[in-house]
């Protein structure tokens, strides 16, 4: 066994090995080695075009695996495909560069190793370019497949994107180029800054550190490679400023903030310590991502009423589709020449009511004149008293003006409202039923069962797909079905309760609040109350909570730019993405366990060029074994000592 010393085990200090020449994962199997090898011509070995084409397409180890499980099975492919030794000889060239015991220059622990146990067998830059090309073609293929599937389903194409554009202006090409460039630049910058830091820490660079203390302190910081490599995120600007780019930046930002929060909690910066600073306090039982919903839904409900152009379109479709108890469709048999208010006309009317401070309509009260005439004979019979009411029924007073001119769009609703309704919002949202509570219950009966069926089918399908709980369904079917049913009911209850509470709050606040008390802000309060329903789905609704929070931040930024609360910065989403990459890299460097998902930890390691591996688990093994751990990869085994 060979040993590798690790000075500081962590995400950027990975164990490297120099395995013995007798064991190689890329060597052909005994069956293939016994067979007659194919002849190698000098041209096939020295041809730079063929060698570079193979080198940037597939590695020798990947070809060995492909040959073992696929190419060697059918007889036709086995005869036509070159052997593993042939491909290795072509890739390495006539000088045999990269053989066992002769690692390529520049491949070191942490930044140069391939993360696959090959001990620097392959050039770092070659691997980075090859994986960037795979990202480019993979993204382009996925985008083309998505466009084809969307056209088959019947999705309407954007007129701008439907026109044939040059290649350099194509969204598919620019997205693929952006992602592949980000990966390539991140790996190059991270490796360069890591090697620069190691050189500056050497004794030979001591005069430079003495002459430039600040620059030396910055460049030799353990966080310098992660911070500097985050500048690769500027390549996101290659993709045009569209909704997808903003969504990517917001997703990365929320992930980075989540990881930063986990790091602060792990270091005791949030909840503190107890027992004299020896034990970290745990987070309260009621704390969770569900607390984002009152603020997120409050902002979204306010934007839906007053700034619908800044409101997410999927949310608007959901609200309109599932709010038939408050947004009434056109009745059957209604005259076609008479305009019926659309759902958005009703919402716009609510906005105008709030802007007018929920106006009261003047009405002459003639009964008071009769009272004055009976008890005061000298009073004039035409003496009247004008009163103001929030709503005057046209059924009782057909000759009176019951609506302001700006609210004439909802006149077909209010003109047929129940006579005993005394609130303008009630006459607009539920004109046929004077009871707000009965309308609220009717909304639940009409919206909850369809949503429950939808989510029941969705979660059941997720339990059947590979990796989605199929093993648990096999071993504990009743518990799995019970969990699927409970999760579907909780999610449906959250959505139905939130939407119904948001609508019911409009009527509640007009009846109980003075007309000039928070006329516009009451919509935020109604959304805040609706967000409290997130408590029902606090255990499994984290993904939905974060999605709505991202949508709320995006909507709030657009509203602020529209109302000139702040200025929009050109390319601001790109800088947000850069900041998210920097925070994620710093958190991963400080404590990789702050990233809770193992898949994301492996993804960060892969982006850095250190292999698709979860190094935090191996760090725990190193600490648990008293400073020594044995690794085995690809038939090789070696020890790493701290």
pTM across the whole model: 0.78
Kindly write down the DSSP assignment for every residue of 189-251, as one continuous string. Answer: HHHHHHHHHHHHTSGGGHHHHHH-HHHHHHHTSTTHHHHHHGGGGGGGGGS-SSHHHHHHHHH
User: What does the block give as tokens for 14?
Assistant: 């990975």
Alpha carbons within 13 angstroms on the beta-carbon side of residue 420 total 4
CA distance 530 to 319: 13
Buried b vs exposed e over 402-417: b needs ≥16 C-beta within 10 Å? bbeeebebbbbbbeeb
CA–CA distances in Å: residue 380 to residues 190, 372, 374, 383, 385: 93, 9, 11, 6, 12
Q: Which of 325, 606, 305 is nearest to 448 (CA)?
A: 325
Q: Which of 487, 505, 534, 351 is nearest to 439 (CA)?
A: 505
Asked if 175 and 239 count as a contact pair (C-beta separation under 8 A), the reply is: yes
636-641 and 2-5 strand pairing: parallel
Coil, helix or strand at residue 556: helix
Q: What is the mean pLDDT of each run of 10 residues along the chain (642 residues)?
A: 39 39 39 43 62 78 81 78 78 55 38 39 80 92 87 65 72 92 95 94 92 93 94 93 90 94 90 83 90 96 94 92 89 84 91 85 46 44 44 61 77 82 85 89 93 92 70 74 91 95 92 88 95 93 93 94 88 93 94 90 91 75 45 37 36
Q: Check residue 427 and give its pLDDT.
A: 86
Alpha carbons within 13 angstroms on the beta-carbon side of residue 39 total 3
CA distance 147 to 175: 14
Instruction: Report which DSSP code applies to 124.
Output: H
- Per the DSSP assignment, residues forming a β-bridge with 388 are 362
Q: Which of 66, 87, 120 is nearest to 611 (CA)?
A: 120
Q: Check residue 230 and give its pLDDT.
A: 95
Coil, helix or strand at residue 339: coil
Please, what is the Cα angle at 567 between 564 and 572, to 5 degrees? Answer: 145
Asked if 175 and 244 count as a contact pair (C-beta separation under 8 A), the reply is: yes
Q: Supply φ then ψ for residue 577, to 5 degrees.
A: -65, -40
* Domain parsing of the chain, residue ranges: 2-124, 127-287+571-641, 288-359+404-566
**Owner of token pair 């029924």:** 393
């Amino acid at each position: 066994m060979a040993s590798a010393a690790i000075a500081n085990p962590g995400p950027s200090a990975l164990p490297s090995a120099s395995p013995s020449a007798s064991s190689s994962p890329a060597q052909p199997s005994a069956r293939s080695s016994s067979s007659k090898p194919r002849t190698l011509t000098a041209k096939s070995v020295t041809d730079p075009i063929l060698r570079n084409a193979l080198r940037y397409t597939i590695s020798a180890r990947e070809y060995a695996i492909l040959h073992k499980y696929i190419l060697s099975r059918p007889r036709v492919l086995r005869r036509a495909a070159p052997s593993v030794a042939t491909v290795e000889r072509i890739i390495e060239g006539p000088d045999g560069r990269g053989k066992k015991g002769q690692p390529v220059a520049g491949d070191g622990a942490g930044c140069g190793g391939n993360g696959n146990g090959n001990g620097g067998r392959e050039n770092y830059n070659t691997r980075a370019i090859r994986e960037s090309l795979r990202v480019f073609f993979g993204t382009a293929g996925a985008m083309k497949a998505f466009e084809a599937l969307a056209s088959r389903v019947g999705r309407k194409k954007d007129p701008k994107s439907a026109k044939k554009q040059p290649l350099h202006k194509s969204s598919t090409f620019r997205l693929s180029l952006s992602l592949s460039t980000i990966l390539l630049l991140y790996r190059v910058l991270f490796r360069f800054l890591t090697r620069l830091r190691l050189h500056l820490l050497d004794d030979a660079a001591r005069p430079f550190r003495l002459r430039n203390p600040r620059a030396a302190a910055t460049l030799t910081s353990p966080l310098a490679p992660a911070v500097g490599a985050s500048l690769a995120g500027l390549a996101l600007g290659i993709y045009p400023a569209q909704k997808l780019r903003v969504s990517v930046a917001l997703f990365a930002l929320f992930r980075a903030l989540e990881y930063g929060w986990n790091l602060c909690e792990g270091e005791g910066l949030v909840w503190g310590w107890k027992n004299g600073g020896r034990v970290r306090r745990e987070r309260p039982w009621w704390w969770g991502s569900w607390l984002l919903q009152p603020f997120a839904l409050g902002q979204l409900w306010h934007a839906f009423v007053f700034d619908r152009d800044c409101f997410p379109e999927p949310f608007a479709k959901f609200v309109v589709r599932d709010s038939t108890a408050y947004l009434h469709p056109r009745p059957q048999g209604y005259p076609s020449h008479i305009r019926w208010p659309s759902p958005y006309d009703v919402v716009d009317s609510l906005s105008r009511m709030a802007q007018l401070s929920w106006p009261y309509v003047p009405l002459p009260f003639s009964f008071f004149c009769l009272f004055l005439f009976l008890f005061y004979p000298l009073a004039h019979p035409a003496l009247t008293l004008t009163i103001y009411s929030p709503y005057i029924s046209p059924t009782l007073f057909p000759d009176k003006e019951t609506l302001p001119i700006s609210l004439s769009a909802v006149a077909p609703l209010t003109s047929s409202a129940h006579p005993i309704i005394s609130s303008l919002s009630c006459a607009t949202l539920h004109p046929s039923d004077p009871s707000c509570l009965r309308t609220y219950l009717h909304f639940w009966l009409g919206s909850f069962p369809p949503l429950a069926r939808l989510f029941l089918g969705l979660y059941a399908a997720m339990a059947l797909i590979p990796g989605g709980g199929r093993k648990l369904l096999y071993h504990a079917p009743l518990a799995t079905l019970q969990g699927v049913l409970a999760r579907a009911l909780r999610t449906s209850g959250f959505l139905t309760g939130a939407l119904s509470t948001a609508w019911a709050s409009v009527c509640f606040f007009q009846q109980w609040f003075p007309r000039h008390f928070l006329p516009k802000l009451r919509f935020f309060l109604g959304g805040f109350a609706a967000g409290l329903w997130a408590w029902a789905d606090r255990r499994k609704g984290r993904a939905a909570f974060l999605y709505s929070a991202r949508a709320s931040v995006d909507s709030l930024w657009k509203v602020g730019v529209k109302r000139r609360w702040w200025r929009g910065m050109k390319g601001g989403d790109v800088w947000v993405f850069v900041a998210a990459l920097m925070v994620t890299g710093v958190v991963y460097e400080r404590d990789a366990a702050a990233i809770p998902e193992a898949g994301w930890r492996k993804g960060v390691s892969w982006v850095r060029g250190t292999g698709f591996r979860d190094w935090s688990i191996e760090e725990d093994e190193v600490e648990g074994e008293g400073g020594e751990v044995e690794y085995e990869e690809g038939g090789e085994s070696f020890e790493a000592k701290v």
